[in-house]
Chain A
Amino acid sequence: MSPVLKRRGERFTIPGKYLLLILTILCVLMMLVTFGTDVFNRPLNTIVGYAVVPFQQGIGKVGRWLSNRSEELVQIRMLLEENARLKEEVAALTEENTLLQQDKYELNELRELMSLSEQYGEYHKVGARIIGRDSGNWFSSFLIDKGTEDGLALDMNVIAGGGLVGRITSVGPNWAKVTSIISDNSNVSGMTLSTGDNLMVSGDLKLMADGCITFSQLMDSQNAVVEGDKVVTSDISDKFLPNILIGYINSISRDPNNLTKSGLITPAVDFEHLSEVLVITDMKQSAGE
């Protein structure tokens, strides 16, 4: 009797090795298809969105509550000191703010005179909570609790604390995956704020523990870029909106080819302790409109 054929009165079962073969072919096909397109992603993302994400949100809530309670106890004393210090700072800043406000009015007037519209006004943002982190140790990505239902879409930029976190690389109805810029497979086109030189910012798994990312291909013929310079997303990136802060140059060295420079950047965002992020719902392609 052939192992595949069905015997009368017996339940039909496929032997393990045939099932392995079938599923292997299925996996390979899925890989080939989803490498370029996302035909399977939408239905699957929807299904898991309703099956898994609610649990994650629940666990996330409990975890946040617990960590908040423990942190509260530790931080009360620290906060009291900080509060006093911050009050002084507020006073100083209010004064500075009024000065800056005046400058701003003046700037706006001058801009109107020069008939320059503001290149990028305020971006529209949506706040989201992190509900899960990458289940493996190789890349750095996380899940947030908002999805297409809240107006999010693929490739939207994600920021936190004034710095760039990453961009949305997968989206379901009520969740989205954000690949952070420290992830090993992430590359961002950036530029130095002071000189406007373009450079390539890439994540590196080896430096993830130190909280650094690398940059390369910096053409800096005048040696004007120094440590501590701000690096922002560049105008030529097709996925990232311009002028979002990435981080500060930590170290810089000349490449063996003597033409370009590379080095390390300290990101502006503390990726270890992220819990809430802001998603910019303006896309690069439509930002100018």
Chain B
Amino acid sequence: MLRKGIVFLFILISFILQCSVFGSLAFAGIIPNLMVILTSSFGFMRGEKEGLVIGFFCGLLTDIFFGNFLGFYALVLMYIGYLNGKFSRIFYPEDLKLPIALIIVSDLSYGVICYVLMFLLRRRFEFIYYFSHIILPEMLYTIVVTIFLYPLILKVNEKLEAREKRRAQKFV
């Protein structure tokens, strides 16, 4: 219950930050993608199921406010969360390389999927332009934010896991 509440708060705060504070902190009009950071870090920390559920809700929130129809971002982020969950078996909290690499790949694929489905299909063929002006800067900015946000998520998750372990022992 506590975990659900805290995850919900994480999603809400990240979303609000993303569309208010980061909007005015944007470098060259590019905003980082906190939703991808959240989805993919909970994915590889907690496994496929939690990754996909969190991805679904992150995406749904984006859909409701900024989507043209419901379900698109939810679907994309859900799969990102699920696939990141596949890496939870080789995830160690001490290791920083895997999370960073996964978030880079997640954000790049998020950008490419968005481009293909929302721009390529509307006859915007200049992939190189969009890649170098939108997808790549967003990824770089996202990584910068990850360096600050990820340790926080990791710490909160460790606290929650320790607490859950204690409670489980108490019941046995």
Contact = CB atoms under 8 A, between A and B. Distances in A.
Which interface residue of B24, B65, B72, B134 has the most chain A CB atoms within 10 A? B65
Contact of A31 (B72, B114, B115): B72
A251 interface: no
Contacts of B31: 133, 135-137
A23 B118 CA distance: 21
B47 to A, nearest CB: 7
Contacts of B61: 48, 52
B146 interface: no
Contacts of B21: 59, 63
Contacts of A19: 49, 52-53
Contacts of B124: 184, 205
B85 interface: yes
A208 interface: yes
Question: Interface range on chain A: under 10, 10 to 19, 20 to 34, or 35 or more?
Answer: 35 or more
B33 interface: yes
Interface string A188-224: 0000000000000000011011000000000000000
Contact of A44 (B70, B85, B119): B70
A206 B47 CA distance: 38
A123 B124 CA distance: 37
Given A19-B53, A27-B78, A177-B66, A134 B19 contact: yes
B115 to A, nearest CB: 8
A59 B25 CA distance: 14
A40 interface: yes
B66 A55 contact: no
A46 to B, nearest CB: 10
B68 interface: yes
Contact of B69 (A31, A60, A63, A138): A31
A16 B78 contact: no
A63 B15 CA distance: 16
A245 to B, nearest CB: 24
Contact of A52 (B15, B23, B35): B15
A56 interface: yes
Given A52-B16, A63-B20, A132-B19, A138 B71 contact: no
B20 A48 contact: no
Contact of B85 (A16, A26, A33, A139): A16
